[in-house]
Structure 1
């Protein structure tokens, strides 16, 4: 599996200094532990690193993964085109977009970065509440960052599937990290859904 430059740095640090905590790694890289959360998740789920409470991270070895396994295939190969609106869009525009594109959720951006997500359930609650759909901005009802589960294009299909199961969600935004002044923002690249992942496994079994 291909890892980012930062993930390679983390692997190297843990190789040389492990066991080492996430905070200690963050200090070395001059980043917060929160900014590294996605990297730690990828490296532990792919069994490159092991994490133990109060002890930190230890190196397991890159021989524990195989790029040929189905679950190790990268999200970027299969991600779809997301349905995106801006925070200034109205609830009415979101409803129209949701049904015209036949999708389960819409990604909301502000200044080009992911700021929220809205689902059919969110819109249904708003409509049933009798509120004005033509005037209400979508920002009023969306789920905001940082309460959104995301994945990177280099994440494995297995990792994305685990997140969907753990958080009971139907799709995940695929994003590119943009770190400025120790703050992480996300540019939307695509999305990966349960339907897509199911299709991948079905197609693979058909080949056997």
Structure 2
């Protein structure tokens, strides 16, 4: 079948692509081809995937912003249940859009996928009661190689939809909540990430 739509360089960020597959539905339900290597190559997307991952999260969970330091991964992400707001931040040093972010709602009903090339930080916020998040990776996960940036770094300025709170100078979840009062939920690790300025200092070896 292989009918997909590809919007490339979304948000003015080179390499970032939104992929929308063709959905065949009737009274019984639907069928959708979620991945076709040839179709993506026809659109100039030549990546090779080596690992599939899936996570399940409850409403208010924010995972991110994550990246692999020495073994960067390209990721093709989608949601199989629920709704999330998915975000990619360009960390490629030679990119004209360095530090720029792009966000998109991914859900089980819109079937949209986001391809995030190597060199980006990635995260998502769960907006539904729960969400199942699936993604394909271009490299294997290497324990101990994970880096991160604070999800609420004001220099990046991500506008997480429906999330309220006042920035207190750190990445802690305390004081943040969704519109219906659901508290923001972060892992201890994600509450410790610094902002993009500190990330840049770590690259240059300057911690002052």
TM-score (normalizing by structure 2)? 0.26
Q: Determine which structure has the larger strand proportion and give its number.
A: 2
Higher percent of residues as helix: 1
**Greater relative contact order (Cα < 8 A, sep 6+):** 2
Report the TM-score when normalising by structure 1: 0.26
